[in-house]
Structure 1
Amino acid sequence: MMHKKMDKNVMDKTAASTEVTIKGTQQIPMQSSAGKREYQIFVSKPLEEPPSWGYPVIYLLDANSVFGTMVEAVRLQSRRPEKSGVVPAIIVGIGYATNGPFSSERYYDYTLPVAVSELPVRPDGSPWPSHGGAEDFLKFIEEDLKPEIDKRYKVDHDSQTLFGHSLGGLFALYVLFEKPYAFQTYIAGSPSLHWNKKWFREEEEKFLSRLNQGNGDISLLLGVGELEGTHKSGMNGNALELSKRLSLKDSRVNVQFNEFEGEGHLSVLPPLINRALRFALKRNVTGKK
């Protein structure tokens, strides 16, 4: 009898297998109208009906690596917004046609032009991939991607977040400085400020001037892993000093700096995502003001 019972629970090796998908998600191929660059856009729409003012939206860079992590974090935590501080939100991941977690094309999209002589030395000593396309990438987001998302979903235009890590964190800060009101919340994880450090220091005053011309406050979360503090780029120190300068110079920027204990450059992503969700979405819990 025991033998027969066990047979019923054994997986049928002849049964056809199917791919596992995340419910409520889809993938949309897109091409930039300016540079004709190819992207894979990953979108997660909440199963809940949207509030009358629309869903908040989080635009996520490097979607091939962290889209699933963020989608599942939102799905689980938004079940009890009053407890978690996280409401249902649309996640728009910007990725590439690759099966790997990262594409070398990110170097072009996330960076400003820099003279080769000014670039940091690559860890393996090889030349850096093509870089300097941040301006065109921002145009793609603003002129191509956002209008497409607006057509497909009911969006809250007063609650939009940009999330980037490493070079993606650098790009998030570039957008903050260049066009601060493109988003209401910016998450810059382990930002590679050493790549364009000179540009950012020169642009700070212009950034503050742009803030004075807009309406509303802007929130910025800078997050790094504790173990990144020993990196020769000075990543943690650069992020901390930036948070201090922005906090002192203009009270309209709500700046938060977090160093996650025991985490490195990649392991910091899950705790950073959890912190980012509460940082970006908590104000939506009690409803639209």
Structure 2
Amino acid sequence: MRLYKISLLFILYFFFSTEINAQEHKTYHKSHIFSTALNAEREVWIHLPEDYNNTKKYPVLVVLDAEMYFDLTLDLIENREKYGKFLASIIVGIPNPTMQERSRNMTFSISKVDQKGEKTSRYSVENSGHAKEFFNFMNDELFQFLAKNHSVEKDNFSLLGHSFGGYFALMQSADASTFNKIIAIDPSLWYSDGEVARTLSNAISAIKNRANLEYYIAFQNGAKHNAENARNLIQFLNKNEVKVYSAEFSNENHGSVFLPALVAVLRELGKNVDRAPRQ
């Protein structure tokens, strides 16, 4: 009985201390934007640097699929920034209301093929093909909201996406996008039978004219069809002298690759940053 009581007390202590630490660690606040492009209210998560000062201008990193990746991304960036290897930045998370909304908002078309390039009827107008509206929300309304409410460096916006998020990040870069750093982790390059490659190829002249545009593409090679598409896209961008950093990972899968890929990208982004660690 005594052992049971001690174990129960330990579990309760662990639970409450974990909850307290989690609450203390939430260094971001939630805002809401009514989007006319989406005809809906969207929640936005915003983290400001510890030494945030309105007299300074800060780079902005927008994280798609925030409900899955924002906390992890924030943890890694806070560590890098604390030890002088990442610029103090405003980190913005865009969570998805539902998974169906995610699919609708991040795809520009209705794919007739699946990840293996085989025919599928999985995608329809109900769950796909509305990314243009989401692009207008991200590129116009979100940008205006951030510029109005925070001290942002307007020519230093990065967009981070995984899977469909990576596909969306790459696709929107072919348009007149606010984002000049595109971070695509295991992007769904198979979607619509290679739609990303065709779109960037058609827009290559405009892409090359954007001198500050940079791509960061990291992927796992377990999905052979998608990995081949990634290698071909990277080769195409290199051939056209577009700035692109790439990383390929073995022994990872579509979900597990996010962590090592993000670490590699953050190291690349911070390779020329060398400030004294924060006290």
Bucket of the pairwise TM-score, normalised by the shorter protein:
0.7 to 0.9
Match of 1:272 in 2: 261
The answer to whether residue 90 in structure 2 is matched with residue 90 in structure 1 is: yes
Match of 2:237 in 1: 246
Match of 1:110 in 2: 106
Q: For structure 1, which runs of at least 5 residues remain unmatched after alignment?
A: none
Match of 2:226 in 1: 235
Name the SS for the 2:109 alignment partner: coil
8 Å contact from structure 2 (residues 104, 131) kept in 1: yes
8 Å contact from structure 2 (residues 115, 226) kept in 1: no
TM-score scaled by length of structure 2: 0.82
Choose which of 188, 191, 207 in structure 1 pairs with 2:187.
191
Distance between the aligned counterparts of 2:271 and 2:51, measured in 1?
A: 17
Change (3 A) 1:169 1:150: same
Distance between the aligned counterparts of 2:92 and 2:253, measured in 1?
A: 25
Shift, 1:145, TM fit: 1.0
* Residue type of the alignment partner of 1:149: L
Change (3 A) 1:144 1:261: same
Name the SS for the 2:222 alignment partner: helix
Distance between the aligned counterparts of 2:257 and 2:250, measured in 1?
A: 9
Match of 2:63 in 1: 60
Match of 1:29 in 2: 32
Match of 1:210 in 2: 206
Distance between the aligned counterparts of 1:12 and 1:199, measured in 2?
A: 51
The answer to whether residue 160 in structure 2 is matched with residue 169 in structure 1 is: no
Change (3 A) 1:265 1:147: same
RMSD: 3.1
Choose which of 81, 96, 99 in structure 2 pairs with 1:78.
81
Match of 1:226 in 2: 221
Match of 1:39 in 2: 42
Name the SS for the 1:196 alignment partner: helix
8 Å contact from structure 1 (residues 87, 282) kept in 2: no
Shift, 1:201, TM fit: 4.2
Q: Any idea what the Cα deviations from partners look like across 1:221-264, whole Å, max 9, x if unmatched?
A: 111123333xxxx1111011000011102x2x211221123211
TM-score scaled by length of structure 1: 0.79
8 Å contact from structure 2 (residues 189, 195) kept in 1: no
Name the SS for the 1:237 alignment partner: helix
Distance between the aligned counterparts of 1:136 and 1:31, measured in 2?
A: 13
8 Å contact from structure 1 (residues 74, 87) kept in 2: no
Name the SS for the 1:182 alignment partner: coil
Distance between the aligned counterparts of 1:33 and 1:283, measured in 2?
A: 40
Match of 2:252 in 1: 263
8 Å contact from structure 1 (residues 55, 89) kept in 2: yes
Shift, 1:281, TM fit: 4.8
Q: For structure 2, which runs of at least 5 residues remain unmatched after alignment?
A: none
* Residue type of the alignment partner of 1:96: N
Shift, 1:97, TM fit: 3.6
The answer to whether residue 129 in structure 2 is matched with residue 119 in structure 1 is: no
Shift, 1:41, TM fit: 1.3
Q: How many residues get paired?
A: 263
Distance between the aligned counterparts of 1:150 and 1:217, measured in 2?
A: 20
Distance between the aligned counterparts of 2:197 and 2:220, measured in 1?
A: 23
* Residue type of the alignment partner of 1:268: V
* Residue type of the alignment partner of 1:93: G
Name the SS for the 1:241 alignment partner: helix
Shift, 1:141, TM fit: 0.7
Shift, 1:39, TM fit: 2.6
Q: Any idea what the Cα deviations from partners look like across 1:32-72, whole Å, max 9, x if unmatched?
A: 21221343211111112349551111111100000000011
Task: Extract structure 1 runs of 4+ deviating beyond 6 A.
Answer: none
